[in-house]
Homo-oligomer: A and B are copies of this chain.
């Protein structure tokens, strides 16, 4: 089908609602301030070097900081961490966000201790595209939680993977 621009964007949005994504909190620390944002547009790139990318809206509160940090954290959420996903999806920034469950020395990116996985990345590149930026990180440290039950997001709802 051929669409007008607005109809095309609506159709693309509808298609993306049909794509399941694992939910992450991207964490960073700038001048002693911890920040984070819920993100689903995260993808591994390569195992050599181990690397991944994160797409972040340029209008997001964390975006200017993502441009200057040396490191960021990718905290892959577990199914039991839906509350954390909702807190960090809220645009307003609260210092309390990192009060419980986080290892946070406010030097390195905060790490969610019980995350399904947590990946410390050195930010080495970025590409602007449209409303977003693609940040590329090379993996420096990895933590994983036993058992495999990540939090996923599909069609506007949180869920988990089954058979």
Chain A contacts to B: CB under 8 angstroms: 1-3, 8-9, 11-22, 41-51, 53, 55, 76, 116-119, 125, 127, 129-132, 134, 136, 139-145, 148, 150, 152, 154-155, 159-163
Contact = CB atoms under 8 A, between A and B. Distances in A.
14 contacts: A1-B143, A8-B50, A9-B47, A9-B48, A9-B50, A12-B119, A12-B139, A16-B117, A18-B145, A18-B148, A21-B22, A45-B55, A152-B152, A159-B162
A118 B18 CA distance: 11
A3 B140 CA distance: 8
A162 to B, nearest CB: 4
Contacts of A17: 148
Contacts of A55: 43-46, 53
Given A15-B117, A43-B53, A130-B48, A20 B141 contact: no
Contacts of A8: 50, 139-142
